[in-house]
């Protein structure tokens, strides 16, 4: 169907609509659809303007179920994009030889391809084929970044508010933002390499990451030099402009560390707390901070290349970081456990409520005494937007 045809018309003109509207339905059951479809006895859509608590609960359950079809569509698009990038040659001036099938590649490996240039063979494919395949698959996955790394809807943001509240009792929080450095080799020319030296005196990219309570990354900036601070990265991208505008995309609060600025939609801890209430806020803020720390830790543990020095150009490294994040979000959606590199065992992802029971090291007092508290007692109310 043409792109101008809306979803309801496509469904109405298909055989499935006629079959289910007839006296003898082919199946006994209900189909879910979004608000663009019509309501039928066999087709349910969410309430456009829910007025009761029951209607709001139905919309929440409907949104959670909707993620099934979204994952199905995106995975199909991802599969098609990868196959296209791997199989198609001579695209946009690319004069490289197309990849042969694996069995044909194994049969045609000559002695010269094995030894003359000192190339290694990985699973029967010459290293040049491996490198070319890796690059094309990376580009294919990078094209799908917007489908996997995106801000939540308001319904999903409200669900995240409930989960963050269960961590330490802070209301109206739906995400946490922080930065992490990925080491790279010194880029050329040398004049440009200076901008990539971070405060720890090594070359890196400063990757700004925003995650929800499920450790899913919902926003990321992976192409900024290591010398750029977190506040500047946030200020120079669209998310800052959107939340500073008159119509904010989401109703809620984002938490950040002391490296960020204070906004009505962005809260940071008190630098010099003077009252008991400020100290309590810093304590629960640090406890909530462990969510982003575990999120980044899961990402780097799942893809160990983000721990070591990446010997590629900053542009390529930025793309690889985004691709790793895409695969990490897919793994989290499918509850794939994190592999233990040392023991080759799998480590299950900690539930958000259990993972944040204790404050992090940053919540310890200057004297080194850990402050124990009951998260259910401390309730910090953030201003409503």
Q: Express as a percent the part of the chain with pLDDT over 70.
A: 72
Reported as a single tens digit per residue, the pLDDT across 44-69 is: 888 888 888 888 888 888 887 776 77
Residue 323: what pLDDT?
92
**Spatial contact of 177 and 260, defined as CB atoms under 8 Å apart:** yes
Residue 32: what pLDDT?
87
Where residue 76 falls among pLDDT bands split at 50, 70, 90? Answer: low
Mean pLDDT calculated for residue range 321-345: 77
Where residue 372 falls among pLDDT bands split at 50, 70, 90? Answer: very low
Mean pLDDT calculated for residue range 269-294: 90
The residue with greater pLDDT, 134 or 14, is: 14
Can you tell me the distance from the alpha carbon of 133 to that of 122, in angstroms, rounded to the nearest whole number? 12
pTM higher than 0.75 = no
Residue 49: what pLDDT?
85
Mean pLDDT calculated for residue range 283-292: 88
**Spatial contact of 337 and 207, defined as CB atoms under 8 Å apart:** no
Q: Is the pLDDT of residue 308 over 60?
A: yes
Residue 88 vs residues 99, 123, 136: alpha-carbon distances, Å: 8, 22, 10
Mean pLDDT calculated for residue range 358-381: 36
Residue 324: what pLDDT?
92
The residue with greater pLDDT, 345 or 177, is: 177
Residue 147: what pLDDT?
87
Residue 126: what pLDDT?
54
Mean pLDDT of all residues belonging to the chain? 77
Reported as a single tens digit per residue, the pLDDT across 233-270 is: 999 888 999 999 888 899 999 999 988 999 999 999 99
Residue 167: what pLDDT?
83
Q: Is the pLDDT of residue 336 over 70?
A: yes
CA triplet 212, 267, 294: central angle to 5 degrees?
35
Where residue 205 falls among pLDDT bands split at 50, 70, 90? Answer: very high
């Amino acid at each position: 169907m043409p792109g101008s045809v809306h979803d309801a018309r496509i469904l109405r003109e298909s055989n499935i609509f006629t079959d289910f509207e007839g006296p003898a339905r082919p199946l006994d059951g209900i189909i879910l659809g979004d608000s663009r479809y019509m309501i039928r006895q066999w087709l349910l859509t969410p309430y456009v303007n829910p007025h009761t608590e029951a209607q709001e609960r139905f919309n929440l359950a409907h949104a959670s179920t909707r993620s099934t079809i979204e994952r199905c569509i995106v995975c199909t698009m991802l599969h098609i994009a990868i196959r296209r990038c791997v199989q198609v040659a001579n695209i946009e001036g690319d004069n490289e030889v197309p990849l042969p099938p694996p069995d044909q590649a194994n049969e045609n490996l000559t002695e010269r391809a094995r030894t003359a240039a000192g190339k290694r063979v990985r699973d029967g494919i010459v290293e040049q084929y491996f490198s070319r395949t890796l690059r094309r698959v990376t580009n294919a996955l990078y094209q799908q970044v917007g489908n996997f790394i995106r801000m939540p809807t308001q319904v999903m943001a409200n669900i995240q508010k409930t989960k963050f509240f269960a961590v330490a009792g802070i209301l109206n929080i739906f995400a946490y933002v922080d930065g992490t450095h990925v080491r790279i080799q010194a880029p050329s020319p040398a004049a440009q390499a200076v901008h990539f030296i971070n405060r720890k005196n090594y070359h890196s990219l400063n990757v700004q990451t925003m995650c929800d309570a499920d450790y899913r990354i919902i926003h990321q900036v992976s192409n900024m030099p290591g010398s750029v601070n977190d506040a500047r990265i946030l200020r120079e991208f669209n998310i800052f402009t959107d939340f500073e505008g008159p119509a904010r995309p989401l109703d809620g609060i984002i938490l950040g560390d002391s490296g960020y600025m204070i906004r009505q939609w962005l809260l940071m801890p008190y630098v010099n707390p003077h009252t008991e209430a400020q100290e309590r806020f810093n304590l629960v803020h640090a406890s909530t901070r462990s969510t982003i720390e575990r999120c980044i830790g899961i990402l780097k543990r799942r893809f160990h290349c983000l721990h070591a020095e990446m010997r590629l150009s900053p542009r390529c490294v930025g793309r690889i970081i985004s691709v790793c994040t895409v695969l990490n979000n897919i793994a989290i959606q499918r509850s794939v456990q994190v592999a233990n590199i040392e023991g080759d065992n799998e480590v299950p992802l900690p539930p958000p409520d259990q993972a944040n029971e204790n404050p992090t090291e940053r919540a310890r007092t200057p004297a080194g005494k850990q402050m124990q508290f009951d998260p259910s007692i401390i309730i910090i109310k953030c201003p409503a937007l």
